[in-house]
Amino acid sequence: MRKEAARYLRCPHCSGTVTMAGNTLRCAEGHSFDMAKQGYVNLLRGAAKFSADTAEMVAARSDFLAAGHYAPIAESLAALARETAPASGDAGCVVDIGGGTGYYHARVMSELPDAEGILLDISKFAARRAARAHPRISAVVADAWDRLPFGDGAASVVLNVFAPRNPAELRRILRPDGVLLVVTPQPGHLRELVDALGLLRVDEQKDERLADRFAAHFTETARTATRGTMTLDHQTLPQLVRMGPNAWHQLDGQLEERIARLPEPCEVTLTVTLTAYRPPT
């Protein structure tokens, strides 16, 4: 956790400002939060509403992303951040909600050299890796469905990549000239694997439902798509399945059996939507 990041954070219990002394965040009411030895701070307020990614899920995601299979998404997101970030003198804070290991966040930070970064994830295993993802990223354990531990208008850019979305809270933490960048899978994403491996399907109306949820809080200002084909071997396919929500829906032993029936290498579709939102004027 960087001392420079503390000014954007708020106490999860009383919403007061916090300061950092040594390895501890503390508010005026006396609530304190020690930095873990791995570099992140836990600001969870009570029990989380959903299960956090396990160490195995996070490791699978780290290995899959490090191999570059989702690099086109990271590059498109970084380019969109560069184009849409506020042009004012204060680069502010780039907040990544449900940012996992920091893979996408780190790429965006490389395009915004004057910005501070704070990544939020409910998994302590993800936060451990995110704390090392980039020199200007601070990692926080918190629940994306709860009140976010940021001040009003704290963020100049908010990232949301395959992650939970609470539009009212995202709007609250985004400053008036800021931008929210959302990445969502299109219905054809991973289509070659959905039936073969029993993966969760992407709702055909996902983009429309997202637009409806955000309409009361944001104005859509840009939308683009990133598409490609990934060539994956039988060692990589389990990483893809186990790095996200599909991991919770696999039966022991069946995944390997199903993968063995697929060609090797396997050509798999990558197709996602990147959408930019701004607060209404």
pLDDT at 228: 97
Percentages (nearest 5) of helix, strand, coil residues in the chain: 30, 30, 40
Predicted confidence pLDDT, tens digits, the chain (281 residues) = 999 999 999 999 999 999 999 999 999 999 999 999 999 999 998 777 778 999 999 999 999 999 999 999 999 999 999 999 998 778 999 999 999 999 999 999 999 999 999 999 999 999 999 999 999 999 999 999 999 999 999 999 999 999 999 999 999 999 999 999 999 999 999 999 999 998 988 888 878 888 899 999 999 999 999 999 999 999 999 999 999 988 887 766 789 999 999 999 999 999 999 999 999 98
Residue with tokens 């915004």: 112
pLDDT at 50: 75
Residue with tokens 């009383």: 14
Domain map (residue ranges) of the chain = 45-278
pLDDT at 18: 97
Partners of 9 in the β-ladder: 150
**Hey, how many other C-beta atoms are within 10 angstroms of the C-beta on 26?**
18
Per-residue burial over 98-113, b if 16 or more Cβ lie within 10 Å, else e, is: bbbbbbbbbbbbebbe
Evaluate whether 124 touches 52 at the Cβ level (below 8 Å): yes
Handedness of CA 153, 154, 157, 159 (dihedral sign): negative
CATH of 45-278, one of 3.40.50.150, 3.40.50.620, 3.90.230.10, 3.40.50.2000: 3.40.50.150
The overall pTM is greater than 0.75? yes
Q: What is the pLDDT of residues 15-45, one digit of tens each?
A: 999 999 999 999 999 999 999 999 999 999 8
Question: CA nearest 126: which of 230, 232, 48?
Answer: 48
Evaluate whether 199 touches 102 at the Cβ level (below 8 Å): no
Write the single-letter amino acid at 240. L
Question: CA nearest 188: which of 230, 146, 126, 156?
Answer: 230
pLDDT at 107: 98
Using DSSP's 3-state secondary structure scheme, residue 276 falls into strand
Give the Cα separation of 273 and 80 in Å (integer). 12
Helix (H) or strand (E) holding 258: helix 254-260
Our measurement of the distance from residue 247's CA atom to the centroid of its chain's CA atoms, rounded to an integer in Å, reads: 17
Give the Cα separation of 135 and 112 in Å (integer). 13
Using DSSP's 3-state secondary structure scheme, residue 257 falls into helix
Give the Cα separation of 11 and 14 in Å (integer). 6
Handedness of CA 262, 192, 195, 122 (dihedral sign): positive
Write the single-letter amino acid at 241. V
pLDDT at 251: 65
pLDDT at 211: 86
Residue 25 has phi, psi (to 5 degrees) of -95, 135
pLDDT at 281: 81
Alpha helices in 112-184 (DSSP H): 124-130, 167-173
